Structure 1
Amino acid sequence: MHPTTFFAPCKLNLFLHITGQLPNGYHRLQSLFLLLDHGDTLTITQRDDGQIVHGNPLPGVPAEQDLAIRAAHALRAVSGRRLGAEITCEKRTPMGGGLGGGSSDAATVLIVLNQLWGLHYPRQQLMQIGLTLGADVPVFIFGQTAWAEGVGEQLTPVTLDANMFEKYFVVLTPHVQVPTAQIFAHQALTRDSKPLRIADFSNGAQSSAFWQQTRNDMEAVVCSLYPAVADTLDWLKQFGDARMSGSGASVFVSVDSVKKADELLKNRPENTSGFRAKGLEYHPLFAMTSD
């Protein structure tokens, strides 16, 4: 079959609160996920010989650890089919930045192979398979702006103010790797944020009062351990309500024009990479899945 190319958008956590810890060690979260029009590009081709092949393995990442390859194996294990696939990935989302790049790649593989292999699993079933790969995978299959609870897997669609999709997000990533597990295990991590109510978000027209109650609870610990993240965040805060996404290291701020966004990127701190993006109301592959 001819190869076809698909987009795997990254995400921002517009806020991330930790509201408790479960007996199994997992943390209860509240977050708001926004998909961006920036991300990786995957080329996926069905193979009839049953092999699942990575066309361009990431340096230092064994194929069996690559989330895109693991996703293909997980889907095949559930289906019992013996079809295969070749998957290549052009990476644009920084690795280890808290932007969900690998999770999004996995979600795109699940969505595409579900169709190529003729499985036609509903969206919810794909999300359950995705959750076995990582807590961030389901939101990309869910495919729209989402209020998240539980360990991040309980997703509710929400509508953002239209002006949120007119803004340009400047995302900067310091050249450090932040291990998520280290941050979740840190004794200084806030684990008892008062839960917010989704009704307050929906009914309050996302007033400034609502946003003033929000933050990223992982930010303080990450900044204490990784000065490069703290320095980049401090620099961005000159230009707005800058925050960290996920467990970092990427930080972001929204501005009102391409000109302003490009100016920030041009003048960004040394030892950072960056991009600008706009929010997406829906994942580009949303129509490939059904309820």
Structure 2
Amino acid sequence: MNQRLDNCLAPAKLNLFLHVVGRRADGYHLLQTVFQLLDHGDLLHFETRADGLIRRVTDVPGVPESSDLIVRAATLLRSAAAERMDASRLGADIAIDKRLPMGGGLGGGSSDAATTLMALNHLWQTGFSRQELMALGLQLGADVPFFIFGRNAFAEGVGEELAPVDTPRDWYVVIEPGISVPTPQIFCSPELTRDSKPIRITDFPSAPRNSAATNSRRFGKNDLQEVAAKLFPQIDECITWLGRFGDARMTGSGACVFCAFDDEQQADQALQAVRTAGRENWKAWKASAIERHPLSHLLQIEH
């Protein structure tokens, strides 16, 4: 009998800060950041098949099924499972309610891939541990291991060196400015500084208390923001506008901009202001910080 998992959240992430501290010989940039999970993201639905077919049953404009990270993640998991079991009949129909924008800096595709690995590892009973799934996920993208790691994290290296960190239980307003930012264009810019001073995890003022929230919001900066804002004036416009409510900054390589608030009421007030601002290309929403990935309980090895 086919098995199902419905309404599996692939949560968005924010980079509360993002420092570029160097560059490796192979061209990859060395980063330091704090990843924050949100209770908003894409929703995925899985139904197993016994004929070995892996299908994305939802159309995603601009993303061919064969190149979708969802399908690639499922195929990679099945290939890895073939080394320990008969995986020839492992298949799945995967549907997605796509709510996160592409090129937004929210980790949408990486989060979709991570949710796929965790959900199908459970449904197919392939038995991979969290660490094994993280290693598989790294083959798909640098951010995928974070989502499988399953909790807010201080990240280093190219984003794969992760340590758990406590973050304030803030509410966030996020603005999508209606553009997509190609990450390589930002990292390849000659104007990008790559020499931020490395910090330690203890330098980040993390604590699930409002007393620490203000300090953590003002901590560091996003080294990619200045470059992205020059290349895409829409980002600079969002930062300036949302900055009326607090420390607005860009997440990841853009294009989305966010601002943190102590409580939901403050977030609602800012959200209402965005929606009445008359910016036709802007899409805004609110979300709360969460501590763990909603599918973490499906994995055998917990933090």
Q: So what's the TM-score if we normalise by structure 2?
A: 0.90
1:8-157 superposed matches below 5 A:
8-80=10-82, 81-82=87-88, 83-157=90-164
CA distance in 2, matches of 1:3, 1:114: 13
Q: How far does residue 103 in structure 1 lie from its aligned partner after superposition?
A: 0.8
Which residue in the other structure is 2:199 paired with?
196
Q: Are 1:34 and 1:146, in contact at CA under 8 Å, matched by a contact in 2?
A: yes
Q: Where do 1:254-273 residues align within 5 Å?
A: 254-268=260-274, 269=277, 270=279, 271-273=281-283
Shift of 1:39: 0.7
1:274 Cα shift?
Answer: 1.2
3-state SS of the aligned residue for 1:278?
A: strand
For residues 209 and 44 of structure 1, the distance between their equivalents in structure 2, rounded to whole angstroms, comes to 41
> 1: distance between equivalents of 2:153 and 2:282?
28
What secondary structure, in the 3-state scheme, does the structure 1 residue paired with 2:26 have? coil
CA deviation profile, 1:172-227 (whole Å, cap 9, x unmatched): 01011110000000000010100011122368995866664500000000000000
- Aligned residue in 2 for 1:159: 166
Asked whether the equivalents of residues 42 and 87 of structure 1 are also in contact (C-alpha less than 8 Å), the reply is yes
CA separation in 2, counterparts of 1:267 and 1:207? 23
Identity over aligned residues, as a percent? 48
Amino acid at match of 2:29: H
Provide closer, same or farther for how the CA distance between residues 195 and 24 of structure 1 changes in structure 2, counting only shifts above 3 A.
same
Q: Is the 8 A contact 2:217 2:247 kept in 1?
A: no
Number of equivalent positions: 287
State how far apart, in whole Å, the 2-side matches of 1:267 and 1:200 are. Answer: 34
SS in 1 for 2:204: helix
TM-score, normalised on structure 1? Answer: 0.94
Query: What CA deviation, in whole Å up to 9, does each residue of 1:95-151 have, x standing for no partner?
Result: 210001111111010001111111111101100111111111111100101000010
Q: How many angstroms apart in 2 are the aligned matches of 1:66 and 1:279?
A: 27
Distance in 1 between residues matched to 2:159 and 2:262, nearest whole Å: 30
RMSD over aligned Cα atoms? 1.7
How far the C-alpha of 1:251 sits from its partner, in A, is 0.5
Question: Is the contact made by 1:200 and 1:210 (CA closer than 8 Å) also made in structure 2?
Answer: no
**Which residue identity is paired with 2:136?**
I
Say which is worse superposed, 42-51 or 204-213, in terms of deviation: 204-213
Code of the residue aligned with 1:40 in structure 2: it is D
Describe the shift of the 1:73–1:152 C-alpha distance in structure 2 as closer, same or farther (beyond 3 A): same
| Alignment partner of 2:290 out of 272, 280, 284 | 280
State the alpha-carbon separation in 2 of the partners of residues 202 and 253 from structure 1: 17
Give the aligned residue type for 1:200.
D
Structure 2 gaps, min length 5? none
Shift of 1:265: 2.2
Q: 1:112 to 1:124 in 2, by over 3 A?
A: same
From the superposition, tell whether residues 261 and 281 of structure 1 become closer, same or farther in structure 2 (CA, over 3 Å). Answer: same
Q: Name the SS of the counterpart of 1:64 in structure 2.
A: helix
Which residue does the alignment assign to 2:232? Answer: 226
Task: Answer yes or no: is the 8 Å Cα contact 2:21–2:194 preserved in 1.
Answer: yes
The letter of the residue matching 1:31 is T
| Partner Cα distance (2:218, 2:285) in 1 | 26
More moved, 199-208 vs 178-187: 199-208
